Amino acid sequence: MVWLAGALIQTVIAVAYVRAASRPSPRGNRWPMARTLSFLAGLLLFSIAVQVPWTGDDVRWVHGAEHLAVMMVVPPLLVLGAPLTLLLRSVSPHARKEIVGILHDPAMKKFSGPVAGVGLTLEYHGTMFLVMLTGLYGYTLQHEWAHVLTHSYLFLCGLLFWMPLVGKDPAGFRPPTWAKVAMVASGVPAYVLLGLLMSGRDETAAWVLGAGGVALTLAGLILLAAQGVGRRAGSREPWSQRRTLAMSRAMRTQQAIDPEP
């Protein structure tokens, strides 16, 4: 029943996203197809990793591969789909104000600033150690609710980590480029260490977690580099043109959040 409920929820989210993306904005702008494909790919991969009853799902390396996908692949794909931005442009002005108010609520400050950057990085890379090297792993095999809760926590860690790094959605925490690189690159020594610690327990799982974690970390660095190249290419426009474009975007955002009566 758990997998059926999960599949139903994901289907509803996918349909709602596609319907919202298919409608032009109030100013006639079309939603980028690349964002839609990225978001749907994230949902599909999440479904494959979590919902599909893999043979040997109780094998440690299979479990480790699922965890890597749920935390390191699915979240950046979903974040690149900019679901919050799509939501903001699809709802009524009143609902828009409410959502923006939640995003700027003082309670959200714990997810912004340098302290949040350090905390999110430690939690993101350290969670896998907790899940795979402690008694929690065996407990999740015996209790389905613990298994589901673990996947949910890994998924949330990934979302909170990747949203300020590669996302287009409104976020209070936007670290500078060097901090983004440091946050992602710290995964290389972390997963090398995890692989070494796992080698005494399960050689295959050690390779999957160690090599897989390092490979996905390098993929994340490539994504950051690609976004950096795109930003630099855009910055070659004349300064006056960039200033006019920035002012126009700011005005459109303000009008979308607080339109005139």
DSSP 8-state secondary structure symbol assigned to residue 23: S
Taking the domains of the chain in order of start, what are their residue ranges?
Answer: 2-257
Q: Report long-range pairs for 46-49 (Cβ below 8 Å, ≥24 apart).
A: 46/10, 46/70, 46/74, 46/155, 47/6, 47/7, 47/10, 49/74
DSSP 8-state secondary structure symbol assigned to residue 70: I
Of 113, 43, 29, the closest CA to residue 83 belongs to 43
Of 84, 62, 77, the closest CA to residue 204 belongs to 62
* pTM score, whole prediction: 0.82
pLDDT computed for residue 244 by the predictor: 58
Report the alpha-carbon distance of residue 41 to residue 39 in Å, rounded. Answer: 5
pLDDT computed for residue 172 by the predictor: 65
Report the alpha-carbon distance of residue 144 to residue 148 in Å, rounded. Answer: 6
Tens digit of pLDDT at every position of the chain (261 positions): 566 677 788 889 999 999 999 988 777 788 999 999 999 999 999 988 887 665 555 678 888 899 999 999 999 999 999 998 898 888 888 888 887 777 766 666 666 556 667 888 898 999 999 988 888 888 888 888 888 899 999 999 999 899 888 888 776 677 888 989 999 999 999 999 999 999 888 889 999 999 999 999 999 999 999 988 766 665 554 545 545 555 555 554 444 444 443
For helices 203-234 and 60-68, angle between their N-to-C axes, nearest 10 degrees: 10
Report the alpha-carbon distance of residue 130 to residue 190 in Å, rounded. Answer: 13
Scanning the structure block, which residue is given the tokens 């996918």?
14
DSSP codes joined into one string, 127-178: HHHHHHHSTHHHHHHH-HHHHHHHHHHHHHHHHHHHHHHH--S--S----HH
Report the alpha-carbon distance of residue 8 to residue 56 in Å, rounded. Answer: 25
Indicate the burial class of 238 (C-beta count within 10 angstroms; 0-12, 13-18, 19 or more).
exposed
Report the alpha-carbon distance of residue 191 to residue 214 in Å, rounded. Answer: 6
Contact 124, 194 (CB under 8 A): no
Report the alpha-carbon distance of residue 237 to residue 258 in Å, rounded. Answer: 30
